[in-house]
Structure 1
Amino acid sequence: MFNEVPEKEREKKLTDGGLDTKRLVNISLVNREGNAVIRRHLESLPLESFDSILILADESVEDSAMQADSRSLATLLLIRDIQAKRLPYKEAMVSHVHRSSFSQGSWIGEMQQASDKSVIISEILDPRTKNLLSMSKISDYVLSNELVSMALAMVAEDRQINDVLEELFAEEGNELHIRGADLYLHEGEELSFYEILLRARQRREVVIGYRPADSEKAVINPLAKNERIKWSLKDVFVVIAEKE
């Protein structure tokens, strides 16, 4: 955890927020103090060794969504640049060869090859900022304000949906999972999506979509649910279920 809050104050803030660090299991919390938009502070971290990084919006400027997003984007670009500079020369060259869309040595190309090494997820507050992140392709993002707005709109339309949201977002209970096709069918079996739904119900699960083995995108809530499909065991299904 890297931010400007003095380490002595962090435990109190985390406790007030509902996190008891003493009860953490299988995870270690390491505190570092510094400003996330100052390069020399970020360079003190072993950024090239991280598998994933989460950039949260600065609560001190959350009243200005654009200012908070600007800080998050600045932190993102600094981290990617530091990672790119620390990557071994050979790895950088190989990555450039595979990325024909950018000229060798371009800054965006260097940052994209750094993105192959670790995942960065940025919290953004303004919907307009997501266009910049989508174009850069060097980071994923969570549009937290929009998620809250959509949840409120669904509950306002139908109060019962609140029970569904509470179930999905709670620590325990049902959540979204990716499950192999072998749990629901045999190789080459021809079934409609409705029939897959019935088999999943026997496992106390709800199938909401699938991804064929030859596709990179999942089909959520397919329209032709009666259409029979020849399935493969390499297909996967998106289900709402409890963790096995």
Structure 2
Amino acid sequence: MFNDVLEKEREKKLTDGGLDINRLVNISLVHREGNAVIRRHLESLPLQSFDSILILADESVEDSAIQADFRSLATLLLIRDIQAKRLPFRDTQVHRGSFSQGSWIGDMQQASDKSVIISEILDPRTKNLLSMSKISDYVLSNELVSMALAMVAEDRQINDVLEELFAEEGNEMHIRHADLYLREGEELSFYEILLRARQRREIVIGYRFANAERAVINPPAKSERRRWSLKDVFVVIAEKDE
């Protein structure tokens, strides 16, 4: 955890928020102090060794969504640039996007293959910049809250579903291998896969083909039969495997 809040004050905020550090399992919390928009502070971190990084909006400027997003974007670009300079260059013949190798954003895209960065943004207009850069994914937190409120306002029973999904225990989203629901080359409709998943007390909400980059959520042609591969995966709502 890296920010400019003093460690003692930070621990107090975490404790007041309900976190019991002694109960953490399979995770260690390491505190580092510094300003996330100052390059020399970020360079003190072993950023090239991180598999994933989460950039949260600065609560000290949350009253201005644009300013908070600017700080998040500045941190993102600094991290990617530091990673690009520390990671060994890979001479690849095919490069993602329309940016050439050797360009600053091309180097950052190469660094993005090494580690995943998820940025929290507050203003919907900022997501266009992140989508164009292809060097980070994002969570639009304000929009998520707004959508949840709209769904509950439309149907109060949705609140029970949201509480179940966002609770620490119970059902949550998982990625399941196709061999749990079908055989290699079997022709099935999405509805038929739904029925098979129900026998496992699971709900299939989407799928991703083996040769596709993105998953299809709530597919429109659910009754259309297609040939599936065991390399395909499904997005399901289910309880955690024991």
Q: Smaller-chain TM-score range?
A: over 0.9
The residue aligned with 2:21 is 21
Aligned: 1:230 with 2:213: no
Match of 1:121 among 115, 118, 124: 118
| TM-score for both structures, normalised by structure 1 | 0.93
Q: How does 1:205-224 map to 2 (within 5 A)?
A: 205-224=202-221
Distance 1:194 1:84 in 2: 45
Structure 2 CA distance, aligned partners of 1:164 and 1:173? Answer: 11
Q: What amino acid is aligned across from residue 52 of structure 2 in structure 1?
A: S
> Aligned AA for 1:233?
L
Per-residue deviation, residues 62-93 of structure 1 (Å, max 9, x unmatched): 000000001111111111111112123xxx25
Conserved? CA contact 1:207–1:237, under 8 Å: yes
Give the whole-Å Cα distance in 2 for the aligned partners of 1:130 and 1:78.
18
**TM norm structure 2:** 0.94
Distance apart, 1:212 and its partner CA: 2.5
Contact 1:125 1:143 in 2 (8 A): yes
Tell me the CA shift for residue 22 of structure 1.
Answer: 1.5
**Where does residue 195 of structure 1 map in the other structure?**
192
- Residues 44 and 13 of structure 1: is their aligned pair in 2 closer, same or farther, counting only changes over 3 Å? same
Alpha-carbon distance in 2 for matches of 1:212, 1:99: 22
> Per-residue displacement from partner, 1:167-214 (whole Å, max 9, x unpaired)?
111111111111112111222222222221111111111111222333
After TM superposition, list the pairs within 5 Å mapping 1:91-240 onto structure 2. 92-95=89-92, 97-99=93-95, 101-240=98-237
Pick closer, same or farther for the CA change 1:138–1:215 going to 2, 3 Å.
Answer: closer
| More off after superposition, 115-124 vs 210-219 | 210-219
In the aligned structure 2, how far is the partner of 1:191 from the partner of 1:46? 48
Greater helix share, structure number: 1
1:22-64 Cα shifts (integer Å, max 9, x gaps): 2111111110111111111111111111111111100000000
Q: 1:109 to 1:222 in 2, by over 3 A?
A: closer
Identical aligned residues as a percent: 88
Matches for 1:72-91 after TM superposition, within 5 Å: 72-88=72-88
Give the length in aligned residue pairs.
Answer: 240
SS for the counterpart of 2:12 is helix
In structure 1, runs of 5+ residues without a counterpart are none
Distance 1:42 1:5 in 2: 15
Residues 55-64 or 181-190, more deviating: 181-190
The alpha-carbon deviation at position 108 of structure 1 amounts to 1.1
> How far is 1:152 from its partner?
0.4
Q: How far off is 1:216 after superposition?
A: 2.7
Match of 2:239 in 1: 242
- Residue 114 of structure 1 aligns to a residue in which SS? helix
Name the CA distance, whole Å, in 2 between partners of 1:191 and 1:152. Answer: 36
Distance 2:178 2:35 in 1: 47
| Shift, 1:218, TM fit | 2.3
